[in-house]
Amino acid sequence: MAGEQKHLLRLALGTGDAGYAGTLVLILCATALAGLIVWFAPLESVSAIYMLPVLVAAIRYGTGPAIAAALLGAVMTSLFYPPLFSVLVFRPAQLIDLVTSLVVALTLGWLAGHLRTEMVKVREEERRTRQLYRLSSEIAGAVDVAAIYDIVAAHMADLFGREVALFVAADGRSWRTIRAPAAGAPVEALGRAVESFSTRTGDAGGPEVEVLALGSQAHWLLCNLSGPDRPKAVLAVSLGGADVGAADAVVAQARSILAEGEKSLERLGLTRALEERQLRQRSDALRDILIEAVSHELRTPVASILGSASVLLTAEPVASEPRLHDLSAAIGSEAARLDRRIQNLLDVTRIRAGALQPRFDELDLADIVNAALDSVAERLGGRKVVLALGRDLPFVRVDPVLVEQALVNILENAAKFAPDAAPIAISARLRDGKLAVEVRDEGPGLDRHEAERIFERFHRGERHADIAGGSGLGLTIAKTFVEANGGSIEPLSEGPGTGTTMRIWLPLAPERRLEEGDDD
């Protein structure tokens, strides 16, 4: 890379000695050409031939060699004025030749120089773009922020040809070294300096880049890599001995690279995206582990208890002794209750983790209501359920499993609070382009304050503390499940002592015309 830079520098400034040597060769060639032509066909003036070296030198080597070519050309032209091959005779035409050549040399030299500068700029731009492209594609392959900084550091080290160290402080934790400086470097002093530098750059208008002197022989260039969405990070480039002149050039270079790097990083939005992805992956993994562990570790023993109790119920000695039979039945139903509580906690975990993904289907609400009634049949005991679903209701578009669970929770809640003899009524009708499902109980009802709070997590009615049981999660889950289906739920009660109606609004399936079969 250093070689390439030298080459570009030479292009920009014009030339070295090689340019003047080349010019001399060009003049000699032109002279030979002129001599040859004059030999065969006498010319009035050969000055036009000497324009060629000026032209070529201006374009190839720059203004200096072009002027040299003009001067040499003017001298050489005099060879070809009569008397031939004598330089000692001066004629006015020669002066004109000289002035013309000089004007051409200066104009072309300036033009060519300008072109070269443009070309150098374009090449430099291209090189930088290539580097940034390489940098960004390397960054895109990185799996975390630390890897990104490592790539940036490697890039800097490569660019400067110097030793580089990198310090990062993420999430308010203390500074740590991602890439340590070489052995023998004053790590502690450097670390302290990095910390104070970072604090100062945090202020508005603070320095982005700073040269730090640690003793007379160790200079470090500190570059701030922090950004609004990224952890604090500082890159330290070793500048070696006290060579302040060289340091200025490096500081300027570092500034421009940081500016470009910052632009490209922000444009790509990589750092934020990467962090979010990482966070999401971590929380997804944690959630899956938790759900898996809870499902298996808690529910398997419950399944064994429930199953074993159900076997005891069928055994002759237990079946024939009512007290033992009741105990076995209680073990079973309590295990089932425990399992439902665990299920509720899992559901809440899924909701909180944003892992609730409804699987929509279009079906008859009656199917969902009946499945819910089958699920709670045992828990409702002999309680009467009055169904008034209305014939020929349109289909709903919901996740049937989630809506069933919501209904189960609402029915359980109704059964818990309503007097044993009181029936629970389920009705459904079409209203305002939606299906309104109502579950009505004749329980203690709700006052206005309660109506607002019943869906809060772990809320349990204070007036009914005597009615034991429940985690306070059932209605929260019901509400979330219904809302996940694009529905809503509202508690209706005319006040304490008047019973409660839970009204669930569910979206209808889009109307479709299905051709009739052979059915009547």
Partner 1 sequence: MMTEPRQQAGPLVLVVDDEPQIRRFLKAGFEMQGFRIAEAETAKQALELAVMRRPDLVMLDLGLPDADGASVLEALRGWFQGAVIVLSVRSSEEEKVALLEKGADDYVVKPFGMAELLARARVVLRRVAQPGAAEPVLRVGRLTVDLARRLVGLDGVPIVLSPKQFALLRVLGAHHGKVLTHRQLMKELWPQDPDEDVQYLRILMKKLRDKIEPDPARPAYLVTELAIGYRLRTQEQLDAVGYAPAMR
Side-by-side strand order, sheet with 424-431: 385-388, 424-431, 434-441, 500-507, 488-492
Q: Which is nearer to partner 1, 169 or 356 (CB)?
A: 356
The tokens describing 164, both together, are 């580089």
Asked if 17 touches partner 1 (CB under 8 A), the answer is no
Q: How far is the CB of 187 from partner 1 (least distance, A)?
A: 49
Span of 25-33, 143-151, 397-405, 495-503 interacting with partner 1 by CB under 8 A: 397-405
387: contact with partner 1 by CB under 8 A: yes
**Longest distance between any two alpha carbons in the chain, whole Å:** 148
- Residues 280-319 within binding reach of partner 1 (CB under 8 A): 295-296, 299-304, 306-311, 313-316, 319
Nearest distance from C-beta of residue 401 to partner 1, angstroms:
5
Please pick, from the candidates 118, 284, 374, 452, the single residue that binds partner 1 as defined by CB under 8 A: 374
Judged by CB, which is closer to partner 1: 192, or 429?
A: 429
Whole-angstrom distance, CA of residue 385 vs CA of residue 372: 12
Residues between 322 and 361 that touch partner 1 (CB under 8 A): 332, 335-336, 339, 343, 359, 361
Distance CA 2, CA 6 (A): 6
Which two tokens mark 500?
């409660």
Determine how many CB atoms are found less than 10 A away from the CB of residue 45. Answer: 14
475-510: burial string, b at 16+ Cβ within 10 Å, e else: bbbbbbbbebbebebebebeeeeebbbbbbbbbbbe
Contact 148, 270 (CB under 8 A): yes
Q: How far is the CB of 431 from partner 1 (least distance, A)?
A: 19
- The 173-212 contact track toward partner 1, x by CB under 8 A, reads ----------------------------------------
| Nearer CB in complex with partner 1: 264/370 | 370
**367 touches partner 1 by CB under 8 A:** yes
With respect to partner 1, which residue has the nearer C-beta, 236 or 396? 396
Residue selected from 229, 378, 452, 494 as contacting partner 1 according to rule CB under 8 A:
378
Per rule CB under 8 A, is residue 389 in the interface with partner 1? yes
**Number of residues counted as binding partner 1 (CB under 8 A):** 51
Query: Which residues neighbour 380 within 8 Å (Cβ) at sequence distance 6 or greater?
Result: 373, 411, 415, 424
The three-state DSSP-derived secondary structure of 225-261 is CCCCCCCEEEEEEEEECCCHHHHHHHHHHHHHHHHHH
The verdict on 518 binding partner 1 (CB under 8 A) reads yes
Q: Give the shortest CB-204-to-partner 1 separation in angstroms.
A: 53
Q: Which range touches partner 1 (CB under 8 A), out of 21-29, 59-67, 126-134, 511-519?
A: 511-519
List the structure tokens of 516: 């009739």
x/- track of binding to partner 1 for residues 118-157 (CB under 8 A): ----------------------------------------
Task: Give the Cα separation of 475 and 357 in Å (integer).
Answer: 19
Distance (Å, whole) CA 275 – CA 91 = 82
Q: Are the C-beta atoms of 230 and 271 separated by less than 8 Å?
A: yes
Residue with tokens 């399944």: 303
Spatial neighbors of 147 by CB under 8 A, at least 6 apart, are none
Residue placing its CB nearer to partner 1 in the complex, 144 or 292: 292
Question: What whole-number distance in Å separates Cα of residue 364 and Cα of residue 509?
Answer: 10
Considering only residues 41, 182, 465, 514, which one is a binding residue for partner 1 as defined by CB under 8 A?
A: 514
Query: CB of residue 388 vs partner 1: minimum separation in angstroms?
Result: 8
Question: Minimum distance between the CB of residue 455 and partner 1, rounded to whole angstroms?
Answer: 22
Chain positions contacting partner 1, by CB under 8 A: 295-296, 299-304, 306-311, 313-316, 319, 332, 335-336, 339, 343, 359, 361-364, 366-368, 370-371, 373-374, 377-378, 382, 387, 389, 395, 400-401, 404, 512, 514, 517-520
